[in-house]
Amino acid sequence: MVLVGRNLDDHKVWRQALNIGADQVVMLPDGETWLAGRIADVAEGAGEPALTVGVVGGRGGAGASTLACALAVTAARAGRRTMLIDGDPLGGGLDILLGAERTAGLRWPDFADSRGRVSSGALEESLPRLDSLSVLSWDRGDTVVVPPQAMRSVLGAARRRGGLVVVDLPRRVDDTIAETLAQIDIGLLVVPCELRAVAAAARVAGAVTMVLKDLRVVARGPSDAGLDDSEIARMIGLPLAGELPDEPALADAVTAVHPPGSTPRGPLARFCGAFLAQALPTGGSVTV
C-alpha cells in the first residue's frame, strides 16, 4: 500500500499513513518516477531480476565475445530465458558471430534515444531471435553513440525480464560502460595464458573493478612460459572462475558454421555449463 502526497511537511499525511498501515509514502513530483516504475512492475509482472554476467577480454582477441555468445547459447539451450547484449560498438556485431545478421529485429541504433523506463516485454519481442535466444547487437551502419541513460533504460528492461542477461564488454570504461558495469552481477575477465596478456589484463581489471566488484578470471589455454590458471589469477589479483581449455572454435569463431557453444560436448560448452550451474539460482528459475 502506497500513500501519495504533495507536501513533505504535512503531518496529516504521515499520520494517515500510520492509520492505514501504508508500506510507503511517496511525495509528488519528486517520487513520480519511482511510483510509475512500481505501477509498471505490477503491470508487467516483474519478478526476480535476471542474473547479469559481463564478459571482457584481458587483451584484444582474447575470446571474450566468443565466451559471451557461448554462455548465452548454453543457457538458452537449457530452456532459460536469455538475452545477449552487445556492449562493444567496435566489435563488429555479435549477430554476425551467431549467424543472425540477416535476422529481422531492432538493433542498438533503434534504442540510442531511449529515456526513462523501457517495457521489458516489448524489448524482448522486438529483438532478433536465434531459437529462444534474444540478441541486441549493432547494425552495419556508422557507429552510434549510446548515452548512459539509454544503456540504463535498456539494460534495466532486460534485467526485469528475469533469467540470464549476458553482456559483451569493451576493454575501455567510459560513462556508458560504467553504467553497464553498475548493473552487472558477475564479471568474467578472459585472459590467455601469456605474460603479455596477463600484463594487459591487470590494467583492464584495474579500470573495471572501480565499478564492478565481482570480477573473476577465466584463464584460456594453451599455457605460455609455464603459467597455470591459479598463477594467472594471483598475478592479476582476482579470484579464478576456471580454466578454458584450448579449442579451435575460440580462434575460428567468426568463420565457424555453428554459433559458439552449440556443440554440447566441446570444452567451451562444458565450461559454460559448469559456470552457469554454479552461478544461476537453483530454485525459481525463469524458463521459456
SS (H, E, C) 265-286: CCHHHHHHHHHHHHHCCCCCCC
Residues 69 and 30 in one domain: no
Residues 212 and 78 in one domain: yes
Please indicate, yes or no, if residue 288 is contained in any of the structural domains.
no
According to the model, what pLDDT value does residue 286 have?
A: 44
Please indicate, yes or no, if residue 284 is contained in any of the structural domains.
no
Cα separation of 195 and 17, whole Å? 62
Q: 9: domain range? A: 2-43
Residues 84 and 152 in one domain: yes
According to the model, what pLDDT value does residue 39 have?
A: 76
Peptide bond into 49 cis (omega under 30): no
Please indicate, yes or no, if residue 287 is contained in any of the structural domains.
no
What total of structural domains would you count in the chain?
A: 2
Residue 200's H or E segment, with its range, is helix 195-208
Distances (CA, A) of 116 to 155, 185, 227: 12, 22, 47
According to the model, what pLDDT value does residue 282 have?
A: 61
Please indicate, yes or no, if residue 128 is contained in any of the structural domains.
yes
Please indicate, yes or no, if residue 119 is contained in any of the structural domains.
yes
Cα separation of 167 and 136, whole Å? 10
According to the model, what pLDDT value does residue 20 have?
A: 92
Query: Residue with C-alpha cell 569463431?
Result: 253
The dihedral through the CA atoms of 275, 279, 282, 283 has a sign that is: negative
Residues 16 and 90 in one domain: no
Please indicate, yes or no, if residue 168 is contained in any of the structural domains.
yes
According to the model, what pLDDT value does residue 281 have?
A: 74
Burial class for 281, CB neighbours closer than 10 Å (0-12, 13-18, 19+): exposed
pTM over 0.75: yes
Residues 153 and 136 in one domain: yes
According to the model, what pLDDT value does residue 68 have?
A: 96
Please indicate, yes or no, if residue 110 is contained in any of the structural domains.
yes
Residues 81 and 207 in one domain: yes
According to the model, what pLDDT value does residue 287 have?
A: 42
SS3 at position 135: strand
Residues 26 and 99 in one domain: no
CB count, 10 Å around CB of 214?
Answer: 14
Residues 33 and 100 in one domain: no
Please indicate, yes or no, if residue 286 is contained in any of the structural domains.
no
According to the model, what pLDDT value does residue 259 have?
A: 85
Residues 71 and 15 in one domain: no
pLDDT digits (tens, 9 = 90+) for 89-108: 888 889 998 988 889 999 99
Residues (pLDDT < 70) of the chain are: 41, 43-47, 224-225, 247-257, 282-288
Tell which phi-psi region holds residue 107, choosing left (phi > 0), alpha (psi between -120 and 50) or beta: beta
Length of the chain, in residues? 288
Residues 27 and 145 in one domain: no
Cα separation of 13 and 2, whole Å? 12
CA-based R_g, the chain, Å: 21
Residues 88 and 166 in one domain: yes
Residues 166 and 219 in one domain: yes
Cα separation of 146 and 109, whole Å? 8
CATH label of the domain that carries residue 120 = 3.40.50.300
pLDDT digits (tens, 9 = 90+) for 248-285: 655 554 545 678 888 888 889 999 999 999 998 764 44
